[in-house]
Structure 1
């Protein structure tokens, strides 16, 4: 009785293709995360520019019209908003840098750990 008669090994090309598809899925997922962060950053920068302009106009109006309590509180609120935006921008920029580096790391790792198509690399690992 042959114990190994039902044991079959898949084709190397098929295994390599499976590995490539897996890493490509990971790369696409990382790209999706990067795109989401980039869109958020773009929208945030547009709102940041608008709030900065509003703060500048409010400051000029306060200088021209004197220090009204309403104007001062509006400027304080806009200043706080600008500081919050700046903090979020900093974090989004760090995320984008991380996602870009992660994609490069995945590409390098994929080449090192994907199943080889030829037996040459496989033999060198033994």
Structure 2
């Protein structure tokens, strides 16, 4: 039974870290639409990993996961404050930025 969880733990954590790497790459190139998609993927992966996290980490949220969320929040707020930069964004990126901001705010209330 514990071997199942050990493999499951690695699999879930690896999935989370891979998505976080994607998000960091999208952040570098300021691709908000891809970042939004990855954020939604990250939420789903975290929900899948929740039982494993509850068992392995005594229900505490993973530090690398929280760090990613905080970095994303800072980045989104920074992008939001830059009015000139926001005007120069493509329509798709601009839309994604605003929906990302809303979803991130709503999601972070739980933490």
What TM-score do you get using the length of structure 2 for normalisation? 0.41
Higher relative contact order at CA 8 Å, sep ≥6: structure 1 or structure 2?
1
